[in-house]
Amino acid sequence: MEPLTEEKINFLKEKANAIRESIIEMLVEAGSGHSAGPLGMADVFAAFYFHILKHDPQNPDWSDRDRLILSNGHICPVRYAAMAHAGYFPMEELKTLRKLDSRLQGHPHRTSLPGVETTSGPLGSGLSQAIGLALAARLDKKKYRVYAFLSDGEHDEGNLWEAAMFAGKNKLSNLTALIDRNNIQIDGFTEDVMPLEPLKEKYESFGWHVLEINGHNFEQIVDAVSEAKVIHEKPTVVIAHTIPGKGVSFMENDYLWHGKPPNKEEAAKALSELRTLGGKITSEHQ
């Protein structure tokens, strides 16, 4: 991984903001979908697709690529937007989100879109899928790394904890999980619906190396992934604290935006805020 310079950080900020704009444009065109989670994870996806991942948009099936598994498939607009900006498919295709015959389904479908590693939708399954890939890499003596992106709300699912125990027991050091700790799920705040804390200590008790970061800080995102690469005795989980709806003032920290798209007026307001922010980022960069 190349050094994270100030210039690269500014580039990543611009990419993340552009990804957020694309998310809003996709959702309002679709008339359905999730807003808060995708906006909150835009910085993480920008960091991965434009700095961290070993991948090739022109050769998405490259055997030595890193594998990125999106367990909480409902936030796929952020993955689609990041992939389009990275060159996996034309930008204009983003407007087909959730439409009939679109490759950009409401949850990712592995055989529909090159570059998507697994089909996801049922929450709690992604970590098990990532474990299978990490075990395969070990058996095949491959050097690629496996990243599993998880939501905090899906930790209500028992099968996720079975997977966490298995990964710890088998010391899958080529596996890094990243939890979007935004504290919301569709029915409310996580700690009201089904308390998760102490989350760090739970993972540690299952044999994981645990890091906690600000999921909007590029230095912390990159440093956490770099640290995970030098932990050889156990898998690593990064608890990334994020703001749901990040970048759009009326969506931030409001769980009601977990599972709904903006209407045309709300989208116009959101895009105005994001474009103003984008202008500030660009002017600071120049």
Q: What is the pLDDT of residues 187-222, one digit of tens each?
A: 999 999 999 999 999 999 999 999 999 999 999 999
Distance (Å, rounded) from C-alpha 40 to C-alpha 65? 25
The gap from C-alpha 1 to its chain's centroid, in whole angstroms, comes to 19
Distance (Å, rounded) from C-alpha 136 to C-alpha 119? 18
pLDDT of the residue at 1: 82
Residue 280, in any domain of the structure = yes
Distance (Å, rounded) from C-alpha 279 to C-alpha 283? 6
At 269 the three-state DSSP class reads helix
Please count the structural domains in the chain.
1
pLDDT of the residue at 286: 64
Distance (Å, rounded) from C-alpha 259 to C-alpha 265? 18
Angle ∠(269,273,278) on CA atoms, nearest 5: 145
Q: Which domain holds residue 202?
A: 6-285
pLDDT of the residue at 230: 97
Residues 6 or more apart whose CB falls under 8 angstroms from that of 122 comprise none
pLDDT of the residue at 206: 98
Q: Any idea what the CATH number is for the domain that residue 230 is in?
A: 3.40.50.970
Distance (Å, rounded) from C-alpha 107 to C-alpha 125? 13
Residue 121, in any domain of the structure = yes
Residue 89, in any domain of the structure = yes
Note whether 220 and 228 are within 8 A (CB): no
pLDDT under 50: residue ranges of the chain = none
pLDDT of the residue at 203: 98
| Residue 186 CB burial class (10 angstroms; 0-12, 13-18, ≥19) | middle
Residue 1, in any domain of the structure = no
Residue 227, in any domain of the structure = yes
Residue 145, in any domain of the structure = yes
